[in-house]
Amino acid sequence: MPKPLTVAVLAGAALLTRRALRRRVRASPLWPLPALDPPISGRPRTRALRLTVAARETVADGVVQLRLEGRDLPRWEPGAHIDLVLPSGLVRQYSLCGDPADSSSYTVATRLVEDGRGGSREVHELVGVGAELEVRGPRNRFPLVEAPAYVFVAGGIGITPVLPMLRALPDGSNWRLLYAGRTRESMPFLDEIENLGADRVTVVAGLPDLDGELADLPEGAVVYCCGPEGLMAAVAERFPDVRLERFAPRASSTGEAFEVELRRSGRTLTVPADSTVLAAVRAELPNTLYSCEQGFCGTCQQRVLEGEVEHRDELLTDAERDGSMLICVSRARSERLVLDL
C-alpha cells in the first residue's frame, strides 16, 4: 500500500527570511518576469489577466488560501485550474476552489512544500494582500461529467478541485467522498466537507483503507481522485477508469538518446538518455524561455518541423500536439527531431 501524503509543516527554523528569499528570486534566470509566451504557428496563447490578491487566509496547517480579484473574469466550471505567474517568473498551476458564479474573483489554495521547487514557498513568503499577479486560464482537464453516481477520493490539498464539484451536485445526487490527510489540522476546508453529510463523507487522518472504503461502488459510478501521486496510483490500480487531476509529471523525462536539429540556428544537438530537450537547447540557446519544467505551463512550447514526438506533457490538446511539443518533458520517438529554433 502506498504511503499517504506527507504534509509539510511550517517550521520557523527552516524558513528563509523574506530578504534571503527575495535575493534568491532575483538571482533566478527567470528574473525579471518574462514576456507572455509567443504564439505557436500564429495561434494565440491563453489570455493573461492581471489580478490583485484581495484576501489571504491560512485554512489549515501549512495551507494558504488566496482570493484574486478582477472584473468580468472568464467563467469556469468545477475541476478547472489557473496558472499563476509568481514574482520570480515561475508558473504554477492551482485548482479553483471558490464559486464559479463569481465573475469578480478566483480563489486558490496552496500547501507549503519545504523540499519542493520553490513555487509554494514564493506564495507563502512573498505573495500578500495587495500583490498583483499574472493569471492565465482558466482551463479544465478534470471536468465533472454527468453520471448516475460519483465517488471522490481526495488527499490533502487535492480537495481543492473536488470541493466545487460537491457544491455543484444537484440535491439528491448519489455521491460519496473519501478525504485523507496526515492530520485533521492539515486538511483544508474540513468543516465544510463534514457539513456536507456524515453519511456521505469519510475523513481519515492517516493511511486510508482503500479496499475497505471503496468497496461496493454504486453501479455506473464515476471515480475522481486528486492528491499525492502514491494515492492516485493506488486508486488507479483498483479503478483503471478513474479520472485523475495531477500537477506533477506522470513519467520520467529520461529515455533513449536522440538528436535535435535547431533549423534556424543551424545547430545539431544530442539529447542524452538522462536529460531533456530543454537542457540541451538551453546549453546552446540560453535565452530559451521555460518555467515549470513539468509539462504544465506551456512556456517552452516549440514548433516541430520533422520527426515523431513522444508527448509527456499534461497541457497540449491533440490538435496542439500536431506540430509542436513541450521540450521540458517530451522526447523523440524517432532518432531525430527538427525544431523551429
Residues 279 and 314 occupy one common structural domain: yes
Domain count, the chain: 3
pLDDT of residue 114: 81
User: Each residue of 192-239: pLDDT tens digit?
Assistant: 999 998 899 999 999 999 999 999 899 999 999 999 989 999 999 999
Whether the predicted pLDDT of 13 surpasses 90: no
Nearest to 177 by CA among 158, 155, 201: 201
Pairing of strands 149-155, 221-226: parallel
**Is the predicted pLDDT of residue 5 greater than 80, yes or no?**
no
Q: Would residue 166 count as lying in a domain?
A: yes
The reply to whether 31 and 98 lie within a common domain is: yes
Q: What is the mean pLDDT of the chain?
A: 85
CB 233 within 8 A of CB 162: no
The answer to whether the beta carbons of residues 307 and 338 sit under 8 Å apart is yes
Q: Assess if residue 252 is contained within a domain.
A: no
Would the pLDDT of 182 be above 60?
A: yes
pTM above 0.95, yes or no: no
pLDDT digits (tens, 9 = 90+) for 303-328: 999 999 999 987 788 889 999 999 99
- pLDDT for 17: 37
Region at 334 (left for phi over 0; alpha for psi -120 to 50; beta for the rest): beta
Domain with 268, as residue range(s), is 258-339
Q: Is 60 exceeded by the pLDDT of residue 32?
A: no
1 occurs within a structural domain: no
Question: So what's the pLDDT on residue 25?
Answer: 38
- The answer to whether residue 144 is domain-embedded is no
Indicate whether 3 belongs to any domain.
no
Residue in the structure block whose three cell numbers are 487535492 = 158
Report if residue 7 sits inside a domain. Answer: no
Residue 97's Cβ-side half-sphere holds a number of Cα atoms within 13 Å equal to 22
Structure-model confidence comparison of residues 149 and 141, the more confident one: 149
Q: Are 31 and 125 within one domain?
A: yes
